[in-house]
């Protein structure tokens, strides 16, 4: 379980940093007509998805078949991508033509931050596991 939290630490750091930026830059968001609520919602959504994907990938790390790990990384990216697309579509449909395009694009940048942190953490852990197995 300690390993799981170690792997999740970069994602939690990104969540905290993005939350701080969203909350402290409220006047900047208003000045540039960016909806901070959408950004915070996206941040929470990406944290939740990352936790789910890490659970899948953590289980795959313990499988002796290396293909299982590769499939879990690929499926994790697909889960994040499809959930993000569904969330954007739901937001656009619910809000209508007045949806905030700038907030959606910034949210997609936040998605890339989470994706990079997730893949970096899981690959680092896989490398260290491979080094331990060779010893």
Query: Does any domain span residue 132?
Result: no
Query: Does any domain span residue 133?
Result: no
Query: Does any domain span residue 49?
Result: yes
Q: For residue range 79-99, list pLDDT tens digits in order.
A: 989 999 999 999 999 999 999
Query: Does any domain span residue 134?
Result: no
From 46-50, 57-61, 111-115, the region with the lowest mean pLDDT: 57-61
pTM of the model: 0.88
Q: How far is CA 117 from CA 21, 30, 75, 84, in A?
A: 18, 29, 16, 17
Residue 129 has pLDDT above 70, yes or no: no
Quote the number of domains for the chain. 1
Write out the E strands in 19-101. Answer: none
Q: Judge contact between 103 and 38, C-beta under 8 A.
A: yes
Token representation of residue 16: 């905290």
Query: Does any domain span residue 78?
Result: yes
In whole angstroms, give the CA distance from residue 18 to residue 41: 11
Structural domain for 93, as ranges: 2-127
Q: For residue range 26-44, list pLDDT tens digits in order.
A: 899 999 999 999 999 999 9
């Amino acid at each position: 379980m300690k390993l799981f939290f170690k792997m999740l630490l970069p994602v939690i750091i990104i969540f905290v940093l993005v939350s701080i930026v969203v909350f402290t830059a409220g006047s900047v968001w208003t000045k540039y007509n960016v909806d901070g609520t959408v950004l915070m919602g996206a941040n929470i959504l990406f944290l939740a998805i990352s936790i789910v994907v890490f659970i899948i990938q953590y289980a795959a790390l313990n499988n002796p078949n290396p293909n299982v790990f590769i499939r879990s990384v690929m499926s994790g990216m697909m889960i994040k991508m499809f959930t993000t697309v569904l969330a954007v579509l739901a937001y656009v449909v619910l809000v209508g033509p007045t949806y905030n395009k700038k907030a959606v694009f910034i949210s997609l940048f936040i998605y890339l931050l989470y994706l990079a942190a997730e893949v970096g953490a899981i690959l680092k852990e896989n490398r260290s596991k491979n080094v331990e197995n060779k010893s």
